[in-house]
Structure 1
Amino acid sequence: MPNIARPATIANDRQAAARSVCIRLAGEDDFDGWRDAARSLAAAEVPADAVHWQVGDAAGDLFASPASEALPPGNREIRVSKRFIELARGVLLHRDSERFSLCYALLLRMAEQPALIDDRADPMMRRAEAMAKSVRRDMHKMRAFVRFRSVTDESGDHYVAWFEPEHHIVRANAAFFVNRFAAMRWSILTPEGSIHWDGETLREGPEAVRGDAPGDDPVEAVWKTYYASIFNPARLKARAMLKEMPRKYWKNMPETALVGELIATARQRERAMITTDRASMTGDRTATLTALREEATGCTRCPLYRDATQLVFGEGPGDAAMMLIGEQPGDQEDLTGRPFIGPAGQLLNEVLAAAGIERDALYVTNAVKHFKFTPRGKRRIHAKPDAGEIEACRWWVEQERALVRPKVVVALGATAARSLLGRTVTIGRERGRPIELGDGATGWITVHPSYLLRIPDAAKAEEEKARFLSDLKAAYALLG
């Protein structure tokens, strides 16, 4: 609870006391403290211009008494919409020193004018919306431009990143990184403070400087090679790129060291692409996929590599127009090193043939490249990959997509759908409709063939098999 101070000499005069009310918050992003204080202030009918908001030990108002005496209890009940609460959460992460006062003033107005939340012409609302938008954009930049570099300590691999936020977003963004990199030990260092994840517990640390983060690591040389190989000069829009990825972030990202040269030579490379024989291009992609596969065999991005027999990479033409993404290798795939050759793969082949689709023309891969299982006697029982394992392997799937460049990507099952879209989705809600993907391809979601094998009722199984066949035909038709 924040500290509310006012002079004791004017305790019986609420309006006079309001002239020197001082609120001390625990931190720059202390939304809970602001909300509790704002509720008490509004109930006591304290006007916005009578409140001085102070963070931590920062210098306060010279005319505010340091005495800690609670405001007289107020009878006014304040009710605002959830939309305002969400707006305030965003605004209070902004760097603007007036954000606490702005939100409190809006709170008082919202209590009298609930429709104000929809008034885009109101100057105060416009300012708040702009601040919240700036915060959302900064949070997106952090998620997009953080680059982890590997270091080794007494506990093994530790991934460290440096980022310079524009606003007070570090703690608010922590949950995103915990969910995405749950299986990694990582730290994100910023001038605002640091966050550290050990695989189980998230903790905060002090401010850092750029020199506290490591420099290049060996993986970055490989990544730069891949980045240069998948850079498409024909799709380059330099102004749009600079708008989405300002130069201030370049120094923290390995691939941006290449951007200047890639932009400078884009026209020449585009002409070369146009004049290069398609067969040669396909050969280049296949060779790069082979190199990517070889690199992936040493992957330790999540713990699944420890128990699996081997990594199971994708296979198919380097210029396949359609890509299928499954969940993970099964027992037989783990032993042979090839995707979709077990019972589910045999059923998939049967349905593909019925749909008139040649499997050899498809690029077939999995969202997770190592077999996750639970031992049960001599058998290995399939276990569902968790969010951290999916995200750890998503990097490889995205490289496969970037190299093959399929026009249609079919996700088979919920795990594959999460890998493709980067979020949890419901198959029943997303199934059977085209989804525009960020790289220009079309996504399509359906069930995994193993689902059909688990249906006990024969009639129901045939019904679902027919529906699966219809899904694959519809996805294939998107190729035109």
Structure 2
Amino acid sequence: MRVVRLASEIDFAGWREAARTLRGQGVAPDTVIWTVDGEGDLFADPEPLAAPAPGGFTVSREFLELAEDVILHRSAERFALLYRLLWRLAAEPNLLRIATDPDVARANDLARQVSKAAHKMKAFVRFRTVSPDPETYAAWFEPAHRVTEAVAPFFARRFANMAWSILTPDVCVHWNGAQLAVTPGADPADAPGEDALEDYWRTYYASIFNPARLKVEAMTKEMPKRYWRNLPEARLIPDLIAAAEGRTNLMVAKPPTEPSRRVIRAVARASRDAAYDGMAPQSLEEVAAGVDACRRCPLYREATQGVSGEGPAHARLMLVGEQPGDQEDLAGRPFVGPAGQVLDRALAEVGAPRAETYVTNAVKHFKHELRGKRRIHQTPNPSEVTACRWWLDAERRLVRPRVVVALGATAALSVFGKAMPIGKNRGVALQLPDQSQGVVTYHPSYLLRIPDAEAKAAAYALFVQDLRFAWGLAA
């Protein structure tokens, strides 16, 4: 057996050098034991690795990026798993593309967990004042995986003008306004105590808590309970959840509030092509009131009502359709008809609950023609899309999604400001001016119109694939 002892739990450079040497010498994965310096005397001191045989080899950037993430996981198998993949790549150069391979699937799963841990650290670190002069802040955090050093540059950019420290059981990172420093891990007893601002933070959190939109399972998935003990607002959460039903009933019993007069006056004054500069809605409620009163194009004349978007105020994923259909026009909600059922089914397969997405349309009024008693859908023309784009831009500005999915050609025209053929542009992330990512795919109603069952199934599979890709980008 060959024993390799690395300098630390995240010693990627050491693992990479040892793995390169071992594979160059033809040492099989099942004859290598990976350990970390300081783990005790379970293994004898490793023999120095001899130089590999001449010739060398290369691996893809994809594998190196995967390995850099997997190394940060707490799993004891990570070093051996990565070396096994490296060994197999010699005979299977396309191995990483086989998502169903057990080793590849396991490595991708570890990488996803590391990415999720990094995201949670960015979201749930709470700094507290430890010194007013000079102004210094500190935070205690217990990451699920060893992501502290990888995430530290994010905080250095985000809080560049602050002096701060983040203490974790693994390592501590410190920023003095100019450079980052890393020190050994700390003890929970070293965590900073509460400061005077936390009461204000709890007051703010209680004021924005909306009991009508509470979904406990979704909330605890996004904010796992393991992080609650380090969040000042967490002490309020059990009581807010307990009181949610009663508060919701009171909200339902209240008479509807009047739409914002400012938005209504702005809409009434605006001509078909007038700009709304200086009159931008400040909330999604104002958007909904403005959409219903909008007269920027003639479509309002034949529609029952304007249909604005719905979903969380800060959803990570925004889905943009073409326009409301017949059922949406009557209900006043987007995607409640047959196309909405297709969308809901696809989102469920992806694991992206619709309740966690913001769903809207490029055009907010139903364009149709009468055939007897039936209202037949008509595609909005570019001028109608342009006239309504102001409302979509307002929704994007307020929701600030990470990813915007354009469902169909009309939605793509509104989101990107130009024609975007679906077949040529689907399956890739396209940068938008507001730094969100744009994804193009089919509209669910297109899938309903495909007559051939086999072709319909194939198009639906591509649709699900695109949604899964977008949901992964938004994670």
Which TM-score band (shorter chain)? 0.5 to 0.7
Identify the residue that residue 243 of structure 2 maps to in structure 1: 265
Residues 271, 223 of structure 1: CA spacing in aligned structure 2 closer, same or farther, 3 A cutoff? Answer: same
Report the AA paired with residue 263 of structure 1.
I
Q: 2-side partners of 1:318 and 1:250: how far apart? A: 40
For normalisation by structure 1, the TM-score amounts to 0.57
Counterparts in 2 of 1:131 and 1:479: CA distance versus 1, 3 Å: closer
Mapping of residues 50-69 of structure 1, within 5 Å: 50-59=31-40, 62=43, 64-68=44-48
1:187 to 152, 165, 170: 165
- Supply the AA of the counterpart residue of 2:23: A
| Equivalent of 1:474 in 389, 403, 422 | 389
Give 1:44's aligned residue: 25
Distance in 1 of aligned mates of 2:244 and 2:115: 32
Query: Within 1, Cα distance between the matches of 2:264 and 2:98?
Result: 48
Q: Secondary structure at the match of 2:27?
A: coil
Q: How far apart are the structure 2 equivalents of 1:88 and 1:222?
A: 42
Give aligned-pair identity as a percent: 40
Pair 476,240 (structure 1): closer, same or farther in 2 beyond 3 Å? closer
Deviation by residue 1:211-264 (Cα, 9 ceiling, x = unmatched): 212222222211211211111111111111112212111111111111111111
Checking the alignment, whether the CA contact within 8 Å between 1:406 and 1:441 is kept in structure 2 is no
Question: Quick one: distance in 2 between partners of 1:322 and 1:253?
Answer: 42
Selected match of 1:205 from 164, 177, 183: 183
Cross-structure match for 2:455: none
Q: Using a 3 Å threshold, how does the CA distance of structure 1 residues 408 and 472 change in structure 2: closer, same or farther? A: farther
The equivalent of 1:249 in structure 2 is: 227
In structure 2, do the counterparts of structure 1 residues 476 and 129 end up closer, same or farther at CA, with 3 Å as the change threshold? closer
Partner of 2:97: 118
* Paired position in structure 1 for 2:430: none
Q: 1:360 to 1:22 in 2, by over 3 A?
A: closer
- For each residue in 1:272-309, what CA deviation from the matched residue of structure 2 results, as whole angstroms up to 9, or x when unmatched? 222234448x8xxxxxxxxxxxxxxxxxxxxxxxxxxx
Q: Which residue of 2 aligns with 1:32?
A: 13
Q: Which runs of 5+ in 1 are unaligned?
A: 1-18, 283-316, 324-350, 365-400, 410-419, 424-432, 445-469
Of 343, 362, 375 in structure 1, the residue corresponding to residue 280 of structure 2 is 362
User: Against the structure 1 CA distance between its residues 441 and 361, is the aligned structure 2 distance closer, same or farther, given a 3 Å change threshold?
Assistant: farther
The answer to whether the 8 A contact 1:152-1:158 is kept is yes
Q: Name the CA distance, whole Å, in 2 between partners of 1:175 and 1:479.
A: 32
What SS is found at the alignment partner of 2:4? Answer: strand
Counterparts of 1:30 and 1:114, CA distance in 2:
25
CA distance in 2, matches of 1:197, 1:405: 41
Specify the code of the residue in structure 1 equivalent to 2:248: E
Does the C-alpha gap of structure 1 residues 25 and 65 become closer, same or farther in structure 2, counting only changes over 3 Å? Answer: closer
SS in 2 for 1:251: helix
**Normalised TM-score (structure 2):** 0.58
**1:35 shift after superposition:** 0.9
Measured after TM superposition, the shift of residue 160 of structure 1 is 1.2
Which residue identity lines up with residue 259 of structure 1 in the other structure? I
Change (3 A) 1:74 1:242: same
Q: Is the 8 A contact 2:128 2:193 kept in 1?
A: yes
CA distance in 2, matches of 1:322, 1:60: 78
Distance 1:143 1:186 in 2: 14
Find out whether 1:224 has 2:202 as its counterpart.
yes
Confirm or deny: 8 A CA contact 2:272 2:387 kept in the other structure: no
CA distance 1:50–1:358, change in 2 (3 Å): closer
- Aligned residue runs from structure 1 range 6-405, under 5 A: 19=1, 21-59=2-40, 62=43, 64-68=44-48, 70-155=49-134, 157-279=135-257, 355-356=273-274, 362-363=280-281
| Contact kept? 2:128, 2:195, Cα under 8 Å | yes
How far does residue 121 in structure 1 lie from its aligned partner after superposition? 2.2
The 1:477–1:211 alpha-carbon spacing in structure 2 relative to 1, beyond 3 Å, is closer
Judge conservation of contact 1:145–1:253 (CA < 8 Å) in 2. Answer: yes
Contact 1:437–1:443 under 8 Å retained in 2: no
Contact residue 160 and residue 187 of structure 1 kept, 8 A: yes
Deviation at 1:165, TM superposition (A): 1.3
Q: Which amino acid aligns with 2:233?
A: E
Q: Is the 8 A contact 1:319 1:405 kept in 2?
A: no
SS in 2 for 1:150: strand
Once superposed, what is the RMSD of the aligned Cα atoms? 4.1
CA contact (8 A) 2:22 2:52 kept: no
Q: How many residues are matched?
A: 318
Q: Is the 8 A contact 1:408 1:478 kept in 2?
A: no
Q: What do residues 97-139 of structure 1 show as CA deviations (whole Å, max 9, x unaligned)?
A: 1211110111010121012112222222222122111111111
Distance in 2 separating the partners of 1:30 and 1:153: 37
Structure 1 477/231 Cα, relative in aligned 2: closer, same or farther at 3 Å? Answer: closer
Q: Which secondary structure does the structure 2 equivalent of 1:474 belong to?
A: helix
**Displacement of 1:171 after TM fit?**
0.7
Change (3 A) 1:50 1:160: same
CA distance in 1 between partners of 2:108 and 2:264 (Å)? 42
Relative to structure 1, the CA distance from residue 65 to residue 188 in structure 2 (aligned partners, 3 Å threshold; closer, same or farther) is closer
Instruction: Please say if residues 319 and 406 of structure 1, whose CA atoms lie closer than 8 Å, have aligned partners that are also in contact.
Output: no
Instruction: Could you list the structure 1 runs, at least 4 aligned residues long, displaced by more than 3 angstroms after superposition.
Output: 64-68, 277-280, 317-323, 351-364, 404-409, 420-423, 436-444, 470-473, 476-480
**Preserved contact between residue 93 and residue 167 of structure 1 (Cα < 8 Å):** yes
For structure 2, the residue ranges without an aligned partner over 5 or more in a row are: 291-312, 317-321, 324-353, 363-384, 396-475
